[in-house]
C-alpha cells in the first residue's frame, strides 16, 4: 500500500493555538461564562462539537453548540484574513514533501478554517486528503481523524508518518499505528510521557527533510 505523511494544522503549520484560545476566552467572558486557566490544555485536540460543548457545559456559555462554534469561527476568520499566522518554514516544508509522498491534513479545526488556510496559504493542491475532526466520530487523542485521512489516500498506517505538536495529537497519530514526528508546541508543550511516544522530535520545520520524515 501507499505510504503518506500527514500534518496536523494548528501548532504545526499555523502558530494558532493561542489565537483559538483568545477567541474562545473572549466569547466566554462576553457571555458571562467562567474561563479557567486549564481550559486551553483541556480543549487541545477536541473537535469543534466537543469544544463547543465544553464551552457551554463547563464554562457556562449560554448558547447552543452550533452558535458557539460559528461565533469562534467568525473571530478566527477575521484574524486569518488580516494576517495568516504561518509558522516559519511551513510553506517550504509542505512543498518540499508534496512531490515525494502523498500528503494529508488531519486537523481539529473547523472545516471552514481549514479551507481558509488552504486558500490563503496557496497549499491546497499539495494535499491528497484533508479532514477535520468534526467529520469523524471522535477528536484527538482518538485516532479517527488520522485513520480517515489515510483511508482516503489509500495509505498503510504502518508505513505512514504523522507530524504533531501536542500531547493529544501525538497520541492520536500513535494510536492510528503511524510513526510520529513531534514538533513540540512552545505555548502548550506536550508532557514528557506523551513526548516519549514520538519516534523523533523536531526543533523546527526546517528539520522536516525527506530523509528525516520518511526514514
Is residue 158 packed enough to be buried (19+ CB in 10 Å), middle (13-18) or exposed (0-12)?
A: exposed
Fold that domain 17-82 belongs to in CATH:
DNA polymerase; domain 1 (1.10.150)
pLDDT in tens, 81-90: 999 999 999 9
Comparing CA positions, the residue from 127, 91, 130, 84 lying closest to residue 107 is 130
Angle at which helix 111-121 crosses helix 65-82, to 10 degrees, equals: 10
Average pLDDT over residues 112-117: 96
Please report which residue ranges of 12-123 form alpha helices under DSSP H: 17-30, 39-43, 48-57, 65-82, 90-98, 111-121
At 63 the pLDDT is 97
At 44 the pLDDT is 85
CA separation (Å) from 62 to 21, 49, 54, 83? 18, 15, 12, 30
pLDDT band at 77 (very low <50, low <70, confident <90, very high): very high
In sequence order, what DSSP letters do the residues of 71-91 get, joined into one string?
Answer: HHHHHHHHHHHH---BPTTHH
Contacts of 30 (CB under 8 A, 6+ apart): none
pLDDT in tens, 160-210: 999 999 999 999 999 999 999 999 988 888 999 999 999 999 999 999 999
Domain residue spans of the chain:
5-15+85-214, 17-82
Domains 5-15+85-214 and 17-82 share a fold: no
At 1 the pLDDT is 67
pTM metric for this prediction? 0.91
Domain 5-15+85-214 coded CATH 3.40.50.1000: yes
Count CB-CB contacts under 10 A for residue 179: 20
| Top-confidence residue, 46 or 91 | 91
Amino acid at each position: 500500500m501507499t505510504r503518506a505523511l500527514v500534518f496536523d494544522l494548528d501548532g504545526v503549520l499555523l502558530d494558532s493555538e493561542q489565537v483559538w484560545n483568545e477567541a474562545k476566552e473572549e466569547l466566554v467572558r462576553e457571555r458571562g461564562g467562567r474561563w479557567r486557566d486549564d481550559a486551553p490544555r483541556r480543549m487541545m485536540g477536541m473537535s469543534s462539537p466537543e469544544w463547543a460543548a465544553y464551552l457551554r457545559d463547563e464554562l457556562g456559555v449560554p448558547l447552543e453548540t452550533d452558535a458557539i462554534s460559528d461565533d469562534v469561527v467568525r473571530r478566527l476568520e477575521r484574524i486569518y484574513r488580516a494576517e495568516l499566522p504561518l509558522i516559519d518554514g511551513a510553506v517550504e516544508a509542505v512543498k518540499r514533501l508534496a512531490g515525494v509522498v502523498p500528503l494529508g491534513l488531519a486537523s481539529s479545526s473547523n472545516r471552514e478554517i481549514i479551507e481558509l488556510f488552504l486558500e490563503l496559504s496557496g497549499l491546497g493542491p499539495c494535499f491528497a486528503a484533508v479532514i477535520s475532526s468534526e467529520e469523524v466520530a471522535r477528536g484527538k487523542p482518538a485516532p479517527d481523524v488520522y485513520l480517515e485521512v489515510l483511508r482516503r489516500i489509500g495509505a498503510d498506517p504502518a508505513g505512514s508518518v504523522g507530524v504533531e505538536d501536542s500531547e493529544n495529537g501525538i497520541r492520536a497519530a500513535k494510536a492510528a499505528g503511524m510513526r510520529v514526528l513531534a514538533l513540540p508546541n512552545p505555548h502548550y508543550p506536550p508532557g514528557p510521557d506523551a513526548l516519549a511516544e514520538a519516534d523523533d522530535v523536531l526543533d523546527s520545520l526546517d528539520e522536516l527533510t525527506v530523509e528525516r520524515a520518511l526514514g
